[in-house]
Amino acid sequence: MTTPAAPVSATPPEGASGWVTVDLDAISDNVRELARRAANAEVMAVVKADAYGHGLVPSARAAVAGGATWLGVAQLNEALQLRAGGVTTRLLTWLYVPGADVGAAIDADIDVSVSAPWALDAVVAAARQRGRTARIHVKVDTGLGRNGALGEGWTELIATLGPVVAEHAVEVIGVWSHFALADAPRHPTVLAQRERFVEAVAELERAGIRPQVRHLANSAATLTNPDVHFDLVRPGLAVYGLSPVPNLGAPQDFGLREAMRVTARLALVKAAPAGQGVSYGHIYTTPRDTVLGLVPLGYADGIPRHAGNLGPVRVGDQRLTIAGRVCMDQFVLDLGPDFAGGAGDEVVIFGRGTDGEPTAQDWASAIDTINYEIVTRISGRLPRVHVGGDA
C-alpha cells in the first residue's frame, strides 16, 4: 500500500501564528481499514477529547463516512455536542458523576454506561420521569481496576437490573469492559481479562439479560488481537492514524495514516552572536554566530514545557530541535548561520513524516510520553483547518 502524500496545508486562517490541519479523508480511510480488520464486528469510533484534538463534529462525520456505525465519548457534554452538531449515529457516553444530567442523554437518544447501582438509579429515575426506556451499557471491571463493576459489585449490579429491565425503564443494549495492557497483546492479563469478560457476560445472560453488543477492544486490541473483537470494537487513537503499539509497528504497518499536522509561522528571525543565552534560564547558549527564529507557540498552545532543548521541528529542509525553554506563548530555534529564510516561514511541529517533518510519535519519544498526549494537548488556541471529506 502506498502512503498518500501528507495533507497539503489548506489555506490557514489569515495571519494565524499556528494552526492544525486535519485530513478528514485519512480519518475515513483509517476507519475503513479498522472495519476491515474488525471483520464481523462493528466499529465504534471514539471521538472523546475533541476527537483527540482533531475537532469533534467534522472528525465524527469523517469516521461515520468511513464506516463507523457507533461513536463513543467519555463525557456527556461531548455526546450532547455531537447531537447539537447534527450527528445522529448511535452514541455511547461513559463517564459522569452523581448529579449529571443523564435525562439529557435519554432525550438526545444517547446510550449511557452504567458501572454502579447509583448510576443505574439515576438513569432509571430520569427514564421514569420521561416515560421512556433508557439505553444502557453495563460495564464490568475485568481487571483494569478503573471504571466498571468489580467482583461482587458485578453480581450486585446484575441483581438490581432485573426489575428495572422488566418495567422497561432501561434496556441493556451493551455489556463492556476495557483492557489494562492491550498494547502488550501476549501479556497474561489480556487473556485473564478476556476470560473474566466471557464469564461476566454469561452471568448476565443467566439473569435473563442478553445485550445486543459485547465490546472490549480499544485500538491496540483491534489491531493486534482478533480474539477480543466480540460484536463491536472501540478504537480511538488508530482512527486518527497513530500507532497504539509503536514498538510493534508504525501507522503504515497497520494501513493507517496520521490525520493531524501542526504548523506555525516564524514571528521573528534575527542574527545572534556566539555565546548568546536563549530564552528563560538560558538552558541553551548559541555555540557560534547564528540566526535565531522565534516560533509563536508555547505551552499554552500545547507545546510541552519539558520539550525545551528536546522537541523536534522542521523548517524548510532542516530538522531542528527547540533551543532553550518553551515559554507560555513561544519558543526559539537556532536556525544556523546560513539560514536564508525570514519571518513568516512555516515551521512544521509534526505531521505524517513523509516530508521529513517529525511525527507525533517522534515528539512522544523525544519527551518520554505517548502519542495520545501529544495530539490531545494541542490547545483550542490553534484553529483547526479541515481538509478532504465533505469539509
Asked whether 296 and 18 are in contact (CB, 8 A), the reply is yes
∠ CA 5-384-72, nearest 5°, is: 90
Q: Minimum distance from CB of 57 to ligand PLP (Å)?
A: 18
Shortest separation between residue 149's beta carbon and ligand PLP, angstroms: 14
User: Strand pairing of 384-387 and 18-23?
Assistant: parallel
Q: Which residue, chain included where needed, has cell 483509517?
A: 30
Nearer to ligand PLP, 6 or 46 (CB): 46
Least distance from C-beta 223 to ligand PLP, angstroms?
Answer: 9
- The letter for the amino acid at 114 is V
Q: 31: which 3 cell numbers?
A: 476507519
DSSP annotation string for 34-70:
HHHHHTTSEEEEE-HHHHHHT-HHHHHHHHHHTT--E
- Residues forming contacts to ligand PLP in the complex (CB under 6 A) are 46, 48, 74, 178, 218-219, 234-237, 244
Catalytic residue status for 270:
no
**C-alpha angle with apex 116: 93 to 231, nearest 5 degrees?**
50
Positive or negative torsion for Cα 107, 111, 113, 116: positive
| Choice between 171 and 373, CB closer to ligand PLP | 373
Q: In what order do the strands lie in the sheet with 346-350?
A: 268-272, 290-295, 331-334, 318-323, 312-315, 346-350, 260-265, 18-23, 384-387
Name the residue with the smallest CB distance to ligand PLP.
236
Active site annotation includes 96: no
Residue type, 329: D
Burial 184-203 (b: 16+ CB within 10 A, else e): bbeeebbeebbebbeebbee
Q: Measure the CA dihedral 217/220/225/226, to 10°.
A: 60
The single residue listed with the C-alpha cell 494565524 is 16
Which residue in 48, 96, 284, 372 is the catalytic one?
A: 48
Distance CA 141, CA 150 (A): 5
Calpha distance 71→93 (Å, rounded): 9
Q: How many residues does the chain have?
A: 391
Other beta carbons less than 10 A from residue 84's beta carbon: 10
- Which listed residue (52, 240, 280, 372) is catalytic? 280
Of residues 138, 139, 16, 54, the one with CA closest to residue 372 = 54
Look up residue 164 and give its amino acid: V
- The residues annotated with a catalytic role in the active site are 48, 280
